[in-house]
Chain A
């Protein structure tokens, strides 16, 4: 027994020293919980298997709580090793010098979709490894369309109006057009010409919304939709776009819902709901316009304790097969050129529009439009729907005022 004791002690010391050599990588994200796993549990397991000296400790923090939880850690010099960020956080934290420049010489930098790369690079520095772009467009109930004798999701304005009239004639509610988010998507898709002026020109005040032909035509086309019986503007103006509207679509009460692809998982879980995800009908294209929202990415805080391990984490996601696990779980597209599409077949119309180059990056997600403008868009378009015969100028002037306030 006395002989065995030193051996046991030595083994214990060896094991404990091995354990203390383990790097614990502190990762904070608003994905990865049970409700929205985003493939992270599987990816963490794989990362740890490839890097046996690193233990990943993922802390889930809801996006709305990130603003309160992370800044004190960044300022106190005790940040997580890796944190999930979106464009507004990159702007805020990166601008204050709290994020590490990941380097434009990174292997993945040149592979980024040029439009994404341009908006993510500031003064030659890039603070984020982007994980995804998420589509926004129309969810279309194909069974309800079939009842009206239509077998294709509408992607042009004429097709949309024809579908509305046919659905309305059958007594089917054609479309959700809640004044805030859904209406914003439509107005944006018909106001921003993918081959015309950059949204940044509007957001910087260089170009004004008032008097702009595109945005005036966009608001006019909303009146055309009303005339085609797509929706009752007064009834839908104040409809909640996040709870009531998706519930109506889920229940099969309405044929078309403008929303984001993040709903695909939820809608696909509804038994018997036969739907497609299509691009937004737009005056500028016959393919429909894909509205890509630049999603979250990984950033390494300036004072990260385990910067080297954090780099390994970012590089791990830069490998296509790993990123694809995340993208497939998210129902999102790769922000890198040549990425394999992991989107389900029901999103084929949207994917096709992207393949045709018929897409824009949603300017609120790239900060080309100031953040304050988003709530003004929501409010003013609601006001526009409540007074559909009012002057376009009343609505557009409000946008210019907010832009001016933010200059």
Chain B
């Protein structure tokens, strides 16, 4: 019994760190969200007014919806592309290491560099993509990639997918490495095709990797700020204005620290809710 108690004592330093550096700032942020604090001077209590504003204005509800939709697009695409490349590379051991490194390279680049490069590629005036389409005789497919509200969000999402496909691919490759070779061998002996082995043998065994990949990319994407900010600054006309961009705009553009804190708390609640539900569903699926 005494030994058990002393075991709990060992968790105290970790709990202190979590309390001091994670829980305490959240409490402070919540406290600030109930004020009209401008980042300096007095903070006057305004009750729930900031939250009332968030949930009664279409603008903020649209941003929440846009953030969730953006996450669905990016996470789905990252999971499918990562899985595709991992399955391919698992079957091509000769080029696996080189390709894995090449695919992972964009994820190691700075968001700022990636953002500016893609901004020039997407430019409607002599941008690389439109020029390439024109040169290939596909001029009719030219688009105002970042300027057309109906496709701007997908253009930004594509850049993020391009950047992080290598990341999910690496997770799935680790998952493939954990599948015993005997299982594939047995499949081959039974005459299963490559697709059948992937669908009925490998995919179910990749359950834990899928959980890890989906969880990490979901949390990361819900908080996405850099790429939409650099590529479009939330435009055109709010078409890519995710919650995180409005938080920064309210903080440093308009000095509404209290309101930005309320938005941050809403964002935290969304991230926690999505992560909790996702974790539950994926874990249940793994066990079934």
Q: Once bound together, how far apart are the Cα atoms of A179 and B124, in whole Å? A: 13
Structural contact, B255 and A238, CB atoms closer than 8 A: no
Q: Once bound together, how far apart are the Cα atoms of A234 and B125, in whole Å? A: 12
Q: Say if the beta carbon of A111 comes within 8 Å of chain B.
A: no
Q: Once bound together, how far apart are the Cα atoms of A210 and B148, in whole Å? A: 26
The smallest C-beta distance from A371 to any residue of chain B, in angstroms, reads 5
Structural contact, A234 and B38, CB atoms closer than 8 A: no
The smallest C-beta distance from A262 to any residue of chain B, in angstroms, reads 19
Q: Say if the beta carbon of A190 comes within 8 Å of chain B.
A: no
Q: Say if the beta carbon of A67 comes within 8 Å of chain B.
A: yes
Q: Once bound together, how far apart are the Cα atoms of A257 and B235, in whole Å? A: 20
Structural contact, A239 and B252, CB atoms closer than 8 A: no
The smallest C-beta distance from A125 to any residue of chain B, in angstroms, reads 16
CB within 8 Å of B: which A231-247 residues: 234-240, 243-244, 247
Kindly list chain B residues whose C-beta atoms are within 8 Å of the C-beta of A75.
40
Q: Once bound together, how far apart are the Cα atoms of A97 and B251, in whole Å? A: 20
Q: Say if the beta carbon of A88 comes within 8 Å of chain B.
A: yes
Q: Say if the beta carbon of B146 comes within 8 Å of chain A.
A: yes
The smallest C-beta distance from A15 to any residue of chain B, in angstroms, reads 42
Q: Say if the beta carbon of B120 comes within 8 Å of chain A.
A: yes
Q: Say if the beta carbon of A253 comes within 8 Å of chain B.
A: yes
Structural contact, A240 and B119, CB atoms closer than 8 A: yes
CB within 8 Å of A: which B117-133 residues: 119-120, 123-126
The number of residues on chain A lying at the interface, defined by a beta carbon within 8 Å of a beta carbon of chain B, is 38
Closest to B125 in A: A248
Kindly list chain B residues whose C-beta atoms are within 8 Å of the C-beta of A197.
none
Known: A235-B144, A236-B124, A238-B148. Contact between A64 and B252, CB under 8 A? yes
Binds B, one of A116-124, A303-311, A377-385: A377-385
Q: Residues 236-268 of chain A: 1 if any B CB is under 8 Å from the residue's CB, otherwise 0?
A: 111110011001100001100000000000000
Q: Once bound together, how far apart are the Cα atoms of A67 and B255, in whole Å? A: 9
Q: Residues 226-260 of chain B: 1 if any A CB is under 8 Å from the residue's CB, otherwise 0?
A: 00000011111110000000000101111100000
What's the count of A-B pairs with C-beta under 8 Å? 99
Q: Once bound together, how far apart are the Cα atoms of A98 and B123, in whole Å? A: 44
Kindly list chain A residues whose C-beta atoms are within 8 Å of the C-beta of B251.
67
The number of residues on chain B lying at the interface, defined by a beta carbon within 8 Å of a beta carbon of chain A, is 31
Q: Once bound together, how far apart are the Cα atoms of A6 and B46, in whole Å? A: 69
Q: Say if the beta carbon of A180 comes within 8 Å of chain B.
A: yes
Q: Once bound together, how far apart are the Cα atoms of A88 and B40, in whole Å? A: 13
Kindly list chain B residues whose C-beta atoms are within 8 Å of the C-beta of A382.
235-237
The smallest C-beta distance from A384 to any residue of chain B, in angstroms, reads 9
Kindly list chain B residues whose C-beta atoms are within 8 Å of the C-beta of A235.
124-125, 144, 147
Q: Say if the beta carbon of B149 comes within 8 Å of chain A.
A: yes
Q: Say if the beta carbon of A200 comes within 8 Å of chain B.
A: no
Closest to A381 in B: B237
Kindly list chain A residues whose C-beta atoms are within 8 Å of the C-beta of B148.
234, 238, 386
Q: Say if the beta carbon of B42 comes within 8 Å of chain A.
A: yes
Q: Say if the beta carbon of A93 comes within 8 Å of chain B.
A: yes
Structural contact, A92 and B123, CB atoms closer than 8 A: no
List 5 tightest A-B contacts by C-beta distance, closest first: A238-B147, A96-B41, A238-B236, A383-B237, A71-B40
Binding site for B on A (CB under 8 A): 64, 67-68, 71, 74-75, 88, 92-93, 95-98, 173, 179-180, 234-240, 243-244, 247-248, 253-254, 371-372, 375, 378-380, 382-383, 386
Binding site for A on B (CB under 8 A): 38-42, 116, 119-120, 123-126, 144, 146-149, 152, 232-238, 249, 251-255
Query: 13 A-B residue contacts at CB 8 Å?
Result: A67-B252, A88-B255, A96-B40, A96-B41, A180-B235, A234-B144, A234-B147, A235-B124, A237-B237, A244-B123, A379-B238, A383-B237, A386-B148
